[in-house]
Amino acid sequence: MTTSTANIRGQARAHLLPHFTREKTWRDTELPVIVRGSGAYVFDDQEHRYLDGLSGLFCVNMGHGRSDFVAAAATQMQQLAYWTNWSATHPSAVQAATLIADLAPDGLGTTFFVNSGSEAVESALKFTRQFHLSQGNGQRVKFLARDMAYHGTTMGALSVTGIDRFKAPFGPLLNGVRHFPNTRGEKLRPGETAAHLPSIQALLQIIEEEGPETIAAVIAEPVQNAGGALVPPEGYWQELRSICDRIGCLLIADEVITAFGRIGEWFGSTRYGANPDLVTFAKGVTSGYAPLGGVLIRDSLVAGLIESPLAGTFSHGSTWGGHPVSTAVAIANLTAIRDEGTLNNVRTLEATLQSGLNQIRDTHPCVKDWRGTGFFHVIEFTGNRHTGRELTALEAETITRDVLPTAMKRVNLLTRADDRGGTMLVLSPPLIADREIVTELLDCVEAVVSTVETYLAT
């Protein structure tokens, strides 16, 4: 270990408060220090190369080290480093919003820029409440979200998040939020439609209890992350749309993860026919090269709010929303995704990835199953799939906190061990990963799963 590296780790422990990181990890003398990236790989301070199996944090869609994105940022910074979207605008934000509108589902042509996914969700909730107020429906203040769903860290976004342990330290949170079951384990039986799903029936019961006239919006992810890449049953989103139309509330698709190619389409809403009123996004819009998020809003809703004598303006904003440099990077990134056939790459290699996951599952009884779509999957572990033995609490904790991190480090794989709703390994590689990289990822996963099986056997 070099002196400079030791200094970095020591200074981090002394002066940097980490995000969602346990003390044991933060105080580890081998705390990872990532210093550069190239394509689907990153390198630490000792020049060890790691396969980035999580795209940073579901965001580095176009891979690391893109000099053209850097050039776009530098050019914009030299020309105009900062301006706002308050009572004025600048070309970079306008061009980015126009490009996003061209890629978005029909009718969603207006973007409100912020800086992160949490801010995007917060902004969607605020727009929804003010829109209803502007239409004389001030009683519509309640939000319905799904169990185990993660929607962000700001107070409103945290309120609609369905993970109790994230919320407990910060209550009381926003009033008027109810959670209904997610689609984990739900399948349509012959002759059934999505209307028969238990989750949908539970949603309808909650609406009846709360009063349909009080509901502002239903919010959900096209593919729910927490709980393990939960792909919706056929017709699920169409049923959500139908329910929202019947009771007069809005439908929000949280696409902070799924937008911009993660599941093989520009938006997950398109893949599942969601037809939402608002779409939140962040992460992949710049491939992580600059902070940017936003809300795509149905044009008719924007017109309804700003033309209303009860409103006239969306009473919300931020210093950095639509920052010139971030939006310039977004333009470069989205143009590259479009022109380099990235979505087709995801759609083509999805089958390769899933075939490999099938082989891993069939070979290892400790794999309960895998779930996902596009370049967004999880493997869930169990005690023994053949006998039906579930993991004990101690086994689940040990696998998540010790076995998986150690095994991943051994094979130079960086991704997430997730314990929200199961014991899982998350797989979300950069969208530029070719067949060779997907094969390498599967080889790494095979080794990690084998280590879990060895642990369970001993």
pLDDT for 417 equals 95
Residues 6+ apart with CB under 8 A from 388: none
Domain end point (choices 308, 323, 339): 339
Q: Are residues 417 and 371 in the same domain?
A: yes
Domain end point (choices 311, 339, 367): 339
Three-state DSSP class for residue 243: helix
Does 26 fall in a domain?
Answer: no
State both tokens at 172.
């009381």
Which amino acid does the sequence have at 160? V
Domain end point (choices 310, 339, 368): 339
State both tokens at 243.
């329910």
Contact yes or no for 443/453 (Cβ under 8 A): no
CB atoms under 10 Å from CB of 309, counted, come to 6
pLDDT for 22 equals 84
Long-range contacts of 34-39 (CB under 8 A, 24+ apart): 36/64, 36/65, 37/63, 37/64, 37/65, 38/63, 38/64, 38/65, 39/63, 39/64, 39/65, 39/430, 39/432, 39/437
Q: Are residues 46 and 101 in the same domain?
A: no
Does 8 fall in a domain?
Answer: no
CA separation for the pair 274, 277 (Å, rounded): 9
Sign of the four-CA dihedral 187, 189, 193, 199: negative
Least Cα distance to 56 among 68, 71, 41, 66 occurs for: 41
State both tokens at 233.
């049953």
pLDDT for 24 equals 82
Q: Are residues 114 and 76 in the same domain?
A: yes
Q: Element (H or E) spanning 180, and its range?
A: strand 177-180
Does 320 fall in a domain?
Answer: yes
Long-range contacts of 158-163 (CB under 8 A, 24+ apart): 160/121, 160/125, 160/219, 162/226, 163/226, 163/420
pLDDT for 5 equals 64
Does 19 fall in a domain?
Answer: no
Given strand 413-414, what is the order of strands in its sheet? 34-38, 41-44, 49-52, 413-414
CATH number at residue 79: 3.40.640.10
Domain that holds residue 94: 68-339
Q: Are residues 430 and 418 in the same domain?
A: yes
Does 122 fall in a domain?
Answer: yes
pLDDT for 375 equals 98
Long-range contacts of 87-94 (CB under 8 A, 24+ apart): 89/322, 90/322, 90/324, 92/322, 92/324, 92/325, 92/327, 92/328, 92/331, 93/322, 93/324, 93/327
Q: Element (H or E) spanning 14, and its range?
A: helix 3-15
Strands (DSSP E) found in 245-320 = 250-254, 278-281, 293-298
Contact yes or no for 33/44 (Cβ under 8 A): yes
Q: Are residues 225 and 246 in the same domain?
A: yes
Does 144 fall in a domain?
Answer: yes
CB atoms under 10 Å from CB of 88, counted, come to 7
Q: Are residues 335 and 352 in the same domain?
A: no
Contact yes or no for 431/61 (Cβ under 8 A): yes
pLDDT for 1 equals 44
- Tell me, letter by letter, the H, E, C secondary structure of 356-401: HHHHHHHHCCCEEEEEEECCEEEEEECCECCCCECCCHHHHHHHHH
Q: Are residues 422 and 274 in the same domain?
A: no
Residues linked to residue 144 through DSSP beta bridges, in sequence order: 178, 218
Does 380 fall in a domain?
Answer: yes
Q: Are residues 57 and 88 in the same domain?
A: no
Q: Is 334 exposed, middle or buried (0-12, 13-18, 19+ CB in 10 A)?
A: buried
| Phi, psi values for residue 327, rounded to 5° | -70, -30
Q: Element (H or E) spanning 56, and its range?
A: helix 55-58
Q: Are residues 153 and 282 in the same domain?
A: yes
Which ranges in 161-278 belong to alpha helices (H)? 164-167, 198-210, 236-247, 268-271
First to last CA, the chain: 34
Least Cα distance to 212 among 235, 237, 239, 178 occurs for: 178
pLDDT in tens, the chain (458 residues): 444 666 888 898 889 888 888 888 888 888 889 999 999 999 999 999 999 999 999 999 999 999 999 999 999 999 999 999 999 999 999 999 999 999 999 999 999 999 999 999 999 999 999 999 999 999 999 999 999 999 999 999 999 999 999 999 999 999 999 999 999 999 999 999 999 999 999 999 999 999 999 999 999 999 999 999 999 999 999 999 999 999 999 999 999 999 999 999 999 999 999 999 999 999 999 999 999 999 999 999 999 999 999 999 999 999 999 999 999 999 999 999 999 999 999 999 999 999 999 999 999 999 999 999 999 999 999 999 999 999 999 999 999 999 999 999 999 999 999 999 999 999 999 999 999 999 999 999 999 999 999 999 98
Residues linked to residue 42 through DSSP beta bridges, in sequence order: 37, 50
State both tokens at 149.
């769903």
State both tokens at 281.
């996004």
CATH number at residue 435: 3.90.1150.10
CA separation for the pair 429, 336 (Å, rounded): 17
Does 14 fall in a domain?
Answer: no
Domain count, the chain: 2
Q: Are residues 326 and 427 in the same domain?
A: no
Three-state DSSP class for residue 44: strand
Dihedral class, residue 333 (left if φ above 0, else alpha if ψ from -120 to 50, else beta): alpha
Q: Are residues 383 and 311 in the same domain?
A: no
State both tokens at 242.
């139908």
Q: Are residues 161 and 191 in the same domain?
A: yes
